[in-house]
Amino acid sequence: MKIFDYIFYRLNNLYASKEKYGSSVFTAALYVSFLEFLTLFSIFVTFQVVTNDSFQTREFLQQYKPYSKYGILLIFFLFEIFNYLRYRKKNTREALQRRFKNHFMNKIIKPWMFIILGAFLFGLPMLVNCFVK
């Protein structure tokens, strides 16, 4: 959870300086939720590729196609609700500010690298699929 706290801290600071309407908490929590969802997706699909279990999952998703789309959206929105409720408290944001303000990674990791992280998590199962087969 610490890595997602750090990502939220960095994105919230970035968005707070750019946005005028005070929606930086929601925007940062949304991207953290997206990264958490991609992490879960990446682990799940990579496990299926490595264990060669993807055929049974495909049959399951084809059988329950409309429900699987809604289930995926429900999981994503549960991540978003959890993160927003967690980070909207001013005490939580202040604690993250104190914890990460002088962190050594602030000089190394730039905010644009989080976009690369999302693309990597999305492409990881495809990369594993290429190397396994």
pLDDT reported for residue 79? 93
CA distance 6 to 116: 16
Q: What φ, ψ does residue 78 adopt, rounded to 5°?
A: -65, -40
CB 92 within 8 Å of CB 86: yes
Q: Is the predicted pLDDT of residue 81 greater than 90, yes or no?
A: yes
* Average pLDDT for 35-55: 80
pLDDT band at 8 (very low <50, low <70, confident <90, very high): very high
The two tokens of residue 68 are 């699987």
Whole-Å CA distances, 30 to 17, 23, 25, 33, 53: 17, 11, 8, 5, 31
- Render pLDDT for 46-56 as a digit per residue (tens, 0 to 9): 877 777 765 56
How much of the chain exceeds pLDDT 90, in percent? 32
Q: How far is residue 96 CA from its own chain's centroid?
A: 18
* Higher-pLDDT residue of 19, 76: 76
How much of the chain exceeds pLDDT 70, in percent? 87
Whole-Å CA distances, 3 to 35, 72, 106: 11, 23, 13
- Identify the weakest region by mean pLDDT among 4-18, 54-68, 95-109: 54-68
Q: Is the predicted pLDDT of residue 17 greater than 90, yes or no?
A: no
pLDDT band at 115 (very low <50, low <70, confident <90, very high): confident
Measuring CA to CA, which residue among 6, 10, 11 is closest to residue 30?
A: 11
